Amino acid sequence: MKTFYRAMQATRPGLLELVERPTPAPGIGEALIEVEACGMCGADVGDIERADPALRPARIPGHEVVGRIAALGAHAPAIWTVGQRVGVGRMGGHCNECVQCRQGRFQLCLNQPVTGATRDGGYAEMMLARATGLVSIPDELEAEEAAPILCAGIATFNALKKCGAQAGDAVAVLGIGGLGHMALQYARRMGFKVIAIGRGGDIAQDVLELGAHLYIDTDEEDAAARLGRMGGVQAIVTTIAHAGTVSALLAGLAPEGRLVVLNPGGGPLQVPAGLLVGGQRGILGSITGTPYENEKTLSFSVLADVRPWIETLPLEKAHEAYLRLKSGDARFRMVLTMRRLD
């Protein structure tokens, strides 16, 4: 095992710096992962831009991590072995002690680290993780393919499972980016009539290739009015942060339809109570999910041939990848690989 490893740390807000660190030993209930790939998520932008310059050592971002177990700490569960392919998502491993864990709601654990935010993440060649946060990775998926599924994949897969729609129902996906492009694929393969809602004609062909039956360009027409003329949709999965746009689209829900919110955004939703009561409509939030649910998402992705559309860059170009992600130029997900440049 290497004595030192390379990592990209958020030295100050908006800046990623390549450093070397001594390889740590896993503690009780931990695993040391030799990272092969780490996806980049919109939440990473926030983590990097909120970096605390006083933190020593600086935080290593990244929460779509795939690699192999290099070492295990004491009392790690026997289901994990050295050399095994594993991943870690945003939820960094439940405590097994709090009220939520005792109720089996591990994704809502009250003592769970947030990978890349409150605990070092995967923009690195090595990474420590709680064993309770580990996810088994299928052999059929390359590391670069599997990485975004650990966040963008499970977030949208679980949202669609919770949305209340049944096969044959119409479902709309608002926002066609890193999350939305996964949601379109899953929704199509779950048997829904899929309506993509986004901005601009430049992505029209992409959304159809991803599985949408219809694309509504909000630069050209009122999306809520269009959905209303169709009789409404049974569910809307929204991946965007703009509360005003999300609120306006509520009128496109059919009676007993549900809005599923994946992006917390920065402002409150404006919701007419009559819209909810009169049609028994509902709004719910959805977080990513447990390691077990992540494994279900990966298995479905293999069975249904769902794959993220990715662009890859080596670890040392993480700052360049971050800027592409922030600008919205990525199509549709950036993934860092640990292969060294020649």
**pTM here?**
0.95
Burial environment of residue 199 by CB neighbours within 10 A (0 to 12, 13 to 18, 19 or more): middle
Residue 300 has pLDDT above 70, yes or no: yes
Interval 169-223: pLDDT, tens: 999 999 999 999 999 999 999 999 999 999 999 999 999 999 999 999 999 999 9
Closest CA to 221 of 236, 199, 243: 199
In this prediction, residues 27-56 reach a mean pLDDT of 95
Q: Domains in the chain, please, with CATH?
A: 4-137+309-337 (3.90.180.10), 153-285 (3.40.50.720)
> Which segments of 50-138 does DSSP mark as H helices, in order?
99-102
Rounded to 5 degrees, φ, ψ at 328 are 85, 10
Confidence label for 331 from pLDDT (cuts 50, 70 and 90): confident
Phi/psi-derived region of residue 226, left when phi > 0, alpha when psi is between -120 and 50, beta in every other case: alpha
CA dihedral 257→191→178→289, nearest 10 degrees, is: 70
pLDDT of residue 341: 63
Q: Which tens digits make up the pLDDT trace of 248-289?
A: 999 999 999 999 999 887 789 999 999 899 999 999 999 999
The rounded percent of the chain whose pLDDT value lies above 90 is 94
- Residue 216 has, within 13 A of its CA and on its CB side, a CA count of 22
Can you tell me the distance from the alpha carbon of 118 to that of 73, in angstroms, rounded to the nearest whole number?
20
- The pLDDT assigned to 265 comes to 79
